[in-house]
A and B are shown apart, each in its own frame.
Chain A
């Protein structure tokens, strides 16, 4: 199985500041069709997860441009600039290139 190592586990930030979350996979996430199926989700307290970024760097509908995704192969990053209160919660990466699909362990973005 592909192991997704997500760091840090906890990320204290100041409002208006920047945050960066890393997700590393135990093997390449490049599919045989050339696409890389690495996605990022935010789960706000008491809510279902919501998709932020799909296939590494594509912002989902309605997601502010403060969120950006980058990376390739086995190393991926989610950056959040100008952090706002509604950005707080748990962030997860998901790889759906290989079965079984696997999530990172999560990063809690909280106020410093």
Chain B
């Protein structure tokens, strides 16, 4: 059974950093691209970042480029999202996704 379990969310002040983790199980992790998608409270879905199966290439929308970094550790079956210079508009539930399977999500609140 495919499982994606995110951790690392919480309350953080504007301008500070936070790192999310996602532990994957039930499939061969290094065979798949992985992504992060977020959902602000009461809003729709927004793609945040993707990484190729080897980790050699990463992709971001302009809204987070230069502030967020996606990475992976294939030996540990773990996906990461390093979020720097956080803004109030980054407040959202962050989902780890293989695009066909999604984690339960982790809440990030950016507020002073």
Contacts and interface: CB of A to CB of B under 8 A. Distances in A.
Interface of A: 1, 39, 41, 43, 48-51, 54, 60, 90, 92, 94, 96, 99-106
Contacts of A41: 45
Interface of B: 35, 44-47, 50, 59-62, 95, 99-105
Contacts, number: 43
Nearest to A92: B45
A51 B62 contact: no
A51 B100 CA distance: 6
For the residues of B in contact with A, the DSSP-based class is loop
B59 A39 contact: no
A33 B64 CA distance: 28
Nearest to A96: B99
B95 A103 contact: no
Centre residue among A50, A60, A100 by max chain B CB count within 10 A: A100
A51 B97 CA distance: 11
Nearest to B103: A48
A103 B47 contact: yes
A61 B99 CA distance: 13
A60 B100 contact: yes
Nearest to B95: A48
Contacts of B45: 41, 43, 49, 92, 94, 103, 106
B105 A48 contact: yes
A1 B7 CA distance: 30
Centre residue among B35, B61, B104 by max chain A CB count within 10 A: B61
B44 A100 contact: no
B37 to A, nearest CB: 8
8 contacts: A48-B95, A49-B95, A51-B100, A51-B101, A96-B99, A102-B47, A103-B46, A103-B47
